[in-house]
Structure 1
Amino acid sequence: MQPEAVLKQFFGYDSFRDNQKPLVMRILAGQDVLGVMPTGAGKSVCYQIPALMRPGLALVISPLISLMRDQVRTLCQAGIPAACLTSAQPVEERTRILRETAQGKYKLLYVAPERLQTPSLQALCQRVRLSLIAVDEAHCVSQWGQDFRPSYLRITEFLQILPERPPVCAFTATATERVRGDIIRLLGLQDPFLLVSGFDRPNLRFFVHHPADKKSALIAELAGRREQSGIVYCLTRKLVDDVYGILHSRGFAAARYHAGLDAETRQTAQEDFLYDRKRIMVATNAFGMGIDKPNVSYVIHYNMPQDLESYYQEAGRAGRDGEMADCILYASESDVRLCRFLIENSRDLSDDLDEEARQTALQRDLDRLRKMRWYCQTTDCLRQTMLHYFGESSPSYCGGCGNCGTHWAWKDATVDAQKIVSCVFRLNQRGRTVGKRFLIEILQGQTTERVQQSGLENLSTFGIMRGESVYHIRYILDCLIAQGYLTCRAEERPIVQLSAKSGDIIKKRLPFSVKSPKGVRVVPVHLGDAVGPVDESLLKVLEQTCDRLAKRAGVPSFSIFPTTVLREMCKRMPRTVDELGDIPGVAAHKAKRYGQAFVDSISAYRRRQQGDRP
């Protein structure tokens, strides 16, 4: 049986996506692979197809219980025998699954990396033939990755106890070149086939906002999205609770999720969101990894994340169904301070690390924070900025992000630049260096306690920008640093200092300009026929059919068919189950199980339409 035939039978597609088949063929040939593919690009299929075709059991190592459960549920809906072993299961259930696995009942078994050290699983894997080992979220093995999990480092020990080493395939959505090297080395991949596909997700629109009042901005944003599913990420548990409380009091159908809640509450919240009983999930980054909910229409970051890897992975949970989706980030200077506090007080930096390694890890994380902050400040194309960070080139104009959708005008800021650089110069004459916040206090003429204690009230530039907002001063200051007219060295705090180019501002008095938003224009983004117009009335009927069948089966609606498949049904309006089975995404198992219900719904809709005609 050819891979395409297996793909059609179980997943309903006639052909692989561009980057899937090379990985599938290499795994089938027994070669180790590393696939770096964006969220929604179909990484799981790359090892699931070989798992179905190679003899034996595929062991899938995955970091979260929720991720494993979702994967197993999706596979079982497709008619693929799969199971998972988790710490949340009763001992009797784990014993039964181990027994059934040994009897050959399952083709895929999902486990957490910690379970590889248990004698029961080790004994099983020494008895049964392993077709492959798949490592999901493989960036967790690297201390340079954003989700480092020490337990991933034990995978190589597990491989050594196996009587025969199967092909090992590692997959992740976000990995810089350094992290990719770590994955290959730390997992012991042997002559691996490396495939790094494009990180671009054309259906995602990126926006960065700097609202004066985040709560009001969030409520206004969500007011127009009551029928859409979305995620609101917050940096801390307290912020999650606060934002959830505000939304709940305003009548929004919201759930919340963070590690401070008990397991039952978290599970209920997750299921409410997956089953569309609650449209909004307010959560920390503890929620989302592996959550395969395709109809997430937006992801809002209430706070700036600590790094671009985390942001891209979390924002990428929107639009997995191929529909247009928005990724909105609310950024503020208080976010930067909070991120820095979280980084400097992270337990991961102190556990099992000597002082030199701890300092290296700290500087690594602070450097990633600086790059995340620059993303929030840039006036360049946000898509290009993101892709450039991951080592990809792209056009400087995408037409779909917030910056490309804004009219920018160059505004003369020479006088303000002279005032800021002159203040740094006067401080330098006194042998003083200060951080950004302190510098702004001096420029504004604030008589704060530290200003009074420092004796800087008599500085000639004290209060020289009195009346200007903190945001305005910081924006000009950041532009001066970005263009090299000042430097900012991060030690205990970001220290602002003169540079070799500072004289161009205060001595040569060269002009200095900054980009200023002039207005916002709506730019259409075309994704082709896949998301083209359909009969919305028929789409609503099919969504109701989906909901009815899902409720009967006890699964989320998207587990029956995602929106993209329902849209294609609207276009083709199949008259038979065989015709419905020709639609991409309709697997043979699902066509047989659910197809007639959709054909009947379409036929009934046709009759109603014809009956309405004069």
Structure 2
Amino acid sequence: MTNPSDILQQVFGFTSFRPPQDQIIETLVAGGDAMVLMPTGGGKSLCYQIPALVRPGCGIVISPLIALMQDQVNAMRLLGVKAAFLNSTLAADEAQEIEQQLRNGVLDLLYIAPERLTQARTLQMLREAELALFAIDEAHCVSQWGHDFRADYLQLSLLHELFPQVPRIALTATADTRTRNEIISRLQLEQAQQFLAGFDRPNIRYRIALKHNGKQQLQKFLKSEHPNDAGIVYCLSRKKTEDIAQWLNQQGFKAYPYHAGLSAELRARHQSEFLREEGVIIVATIAFGMGIDKPNVRFVAHLDLPKTIESYYQETGRAGRDGEPATAWMVYGLQDVIKLRQMMEGSEGSEEHKRAEQQRLNAMLGLCEITSCRRQALLDYFDEHLEQPCGNCDTCLDPPQTWDGTEAARKALSVAFRTEQRFGVNHLIEVLRGADSDKIFQFGHQYLPVYGIGKDLDNNQWRSVFRQLVARGYMSVDLERYGALRLEEKCRPLLRNEETIALRKDIKPKAAKQQTKVYLAPDVDIDLWEALRECRRGYAEELGVPPYVVFHDSTLQEMCLRLPQNMEEFGELSGVGERKLERYGPAFVSVITEHLAA
């Protein structure tokens, strides 16, 4: 087979490419380089898998995701593709056998970790083999500005120097203009054709709320909307992931922690449970998720504010890869901002790097506080523009109310100024509300003209005012003074009565309507759906692969709607290639015919 469309249909079981897959594949097949930015779930892997099958030789896939390589290779083998991987989990004799297979021209695809690729032994092996292409997955790992930076990726520029005739493709799901330029420069892809497939994930509903009691808010969200669904909960600290996972299990959910402090064996076991079982929740730090290919993750929840919009986009993008409705849910508070600032200040980066991180955190906070469409703001950050509000985010579905916060903002700025910009938000609120605390008397703040001038607002309302002033750049958090709030130049016109400010009203979230399983079409017979899932589960356990490697939920749903009753009809389903038709067709057709006869 040398025709990409034939391979798409016969191997992968799809009838047509999504744009711009066909153009990317055409570029690589012709021997050109490509830089590809495509959202999670957009079909990036086909962009190198198909050219590797069309071109003579083996496609080398460079991936940092050692824990997932086995699943990726198993999925390819089940499609009839000769695939293997080389990483540190293999014994020496196993690695030698795979190296020999590469030299002998037996392999179609070889997955390899970046740190292994740059070893002299590996490079010599590659020189002795016929190579179809190099695919550099998760290419944003080369960016020293990014949270996923991996030093080994910097060495990948040598591929251009050592193998100038072998086409290269760099792929990422998230990269702003600055990061894209860094990828191109560091990997020497200046001559590569760029393909930007767009960032919009219209099936994901974005929801961001103020944190009151994170645990209770999460429990309410899960029980009302996702009681039996697979999902990911992100937390800032390792300890918190373990606490939340334990607590979720006590509430009747099936949850596992995942962070870099756990043993490799335990991480692999928890990841395997998440991929292979239904309805499992992973509670994780950012150590989890890159490359996770589970299509039916129905929600991603953040219990803490991510550091950047890039992180937020990438992490929320792990939901709904099957194209069905999914939720990106987050709660945040001013304390999150202070924690993240402290982490940034304590990092080893240069002052320039810290400033860049601070700007990105400010942008993330800004996304939380906006009153307009969140999807428009998210896409604007990546230089992509949505003409109309999306109608599928919280600010579109339930527009926030605003109020004239000019007077309150001036009081907030004044109390920070009068207390010499040395105190945090709790003390400032006590001064405004005229509290009788030891700390106020210790510093003589009961004699200030601002003492007691804010009794018209309660503690939570004042917290909201200070949080929004920080988010909009009127104030900042001074970490050298343990979280004291400091005035910024931007506040001068407001203090001088030269401008007004509208603030967002914080409202406690209303109970969301039940949305569980809305991604099933109304005509789907639930009994047949469960019978097909059981058949799929049996094959998955027998083969030692996640259920979606056998068939995606979308293919099972199509079986329920089209009810194929022979092999020819079954072969017309999306996602059923020749190998899957031969391997699974009889059993699934039997389930359908038995159901119809019952």
d(CA) in 1 for partners of 2:357, 2:488: 25
d(CA) in 1 for partners of 2:278, 2:493: 61
- Paired residues of 1:210 and 1:330 also in contact (CA < 8 A): yes
d(CA) in 1 for partners of 2:271, 2:96: 27
Of residues 127-136 and 434-443 in structure 1, the stretch that sits farther from structure 2 once superposed is: 434-443
d(CA) in 1 for partners of 2:18, 2:406: 52
Partner of 2:153: 152
Partner of 1:538: 528
- Paired residues of 1:405 and 1:523 also in contact (CA < 8 A): no
- Paired residues of 1:214 and 1:330 also in contact (CA < 8 A): yes
The reply on whether 1:237 has 2:226 as its aligned counterpart is: no
SS in structure 1 of the partner of residue 344 of structure 2: helix
Partner of 1:328: 329
SS in structure 2 of the partner of residue 4 of structure 1: helix
Partner of 1:168: 168
d(CA) in 1 for partners of 2:278, 2:388: 41
Which residue identity is paired with 2:465? Answer: I
Are residues 517 and 263 of structure 1, via their aligned partners in 2, closer, same or farther at CA, if it must alter by over 3 Å? closer
d(CA) in 1 for partners of 2:199, 2:594: 42
**Post-superposition CA distance 1:358-398 (Å, at most 9, x none):** 11111111111111112222222111121111111114521
The reply on whether 1:579 has 2:569 as its aligned counterpart is: yes
d(CA) in 2 for partners of 1:448, 1:71: 61
- Paired residues of 1:138 and 1:170 also in contact (CA < 8 A): yes
- Paired residues of 1:323 and 1:531 also in contact (CA < 8 A): no
The reply on whether 1:547 has 2:537 as its aligned counterpart is: yes
- Paired residues of 2:299 and 2:319 also in contact (CA < 8 A): yes
The reply on whether 1:391 has 2:380 as its aligned counterpart is: no
Which residue identity is paired with 1:560? Answer: V
TM-score (normalised: structure 1): 0.89
Partner of 1:184: 184
Aligned residues between the structures: 591
**Post-superposition CA distance 1:106-130 (Å, at most 9, x none):** 1111111111232321121010121
SS in structure 2 of the partner of residue 170 of structure 1: strand
Partner of 1:368: 360
d(CA) in 1 for partners of 2:484, 2:351: 16
d(CA) in 2 for partners of 1:125, 1:564: 39
Structure 2 unpaired stretches of 5+: none
Partner of 1:568: 558
d(CA) in 1 for partners of 2:266, 2:514: 41
d(CA) in 1 for partners of 2:366, 2:65: 31
- Paired residues of 1:61 and 1:133 also in contact (CA < 8 A): yes
Are residues 451 and 105 of structure 1, via their aligned partners in 2, closer, same or farther at CA, if it must alter by over 3 Å? farther
State the identity %. 38
Which residue identity is paired with 1:168? Answer: R
Deviation at 1:595, TM superposition (A): 1.0
Deviation at 1:514, TM superposition (A): 2.8
Structure 1 unpaired stretches of 5+: 350-357, 609-614
Which residue identity is paired with 2:527? Answer: S
Report matched runs for 1:77-92 at 5 Å: 77-92=78-93
d(CA) in 1 for partners of 2:114, 2:442: 54
Deviation at 1:488, TM superposition (A): 4.1
d(CA) in 2 for partners of 1:411, 1:495: 23
Partner of 1:60: 61
**Post-superposition CA distance 1:8-64 (Å, at most 9, x none):** 111111110011111111111111110001000011100110000011111111112
Match for 2:454 among 462, 465, 484? Answer: 465
Which residue identity is paired with 1:409? Answer: Q
Of residues 97-106 and 26-35 in structure 1, the stretch that sits farther from structure 2 once superposed is: 97-106
Deviation at 1:442, TM superposition (A): 3.8
Partner of 2:549: 559
What's the C-alpha RMSD, in Å, of the aligned pairs? Answer: 2.8
Deviation at 1:554, TM superposition (A): 2.0
Which residue identity is paired with 1:212? Answer: H
Deviation at 1:456, TM superposition (A): 3.9
- Paired residues of 1:80 and 1:107 also in contact (CA < 8 A): yes
Are residues 13 and 474 of structure 1, via their aligned partners in 2, closer, same or farther at CA, if it must alter by over 3 Å? same
SS in structure 2 of the partner of residue 408 of structure 1: coil
d(CA) in 1 for partners of 2:378, 2:263: 36
SS in structure 1 of the partner of residue 401 of structure 2: strand
Deviation at 1:417, TM superposition (A): 3.0
Report matched runs for 1:328-367 at 5 Å: 328-347=329-348, 349=349, 358-367=350-359
**Post-superposition CA distance 1:443-481 (Å, at most 9, x none):** 344677876665544221133224744442233345456
Are residues 373 and 204 of structure 1, via their aligned partners in 2, closer, same or farther at CA, if it must alter by over 3 Å? same
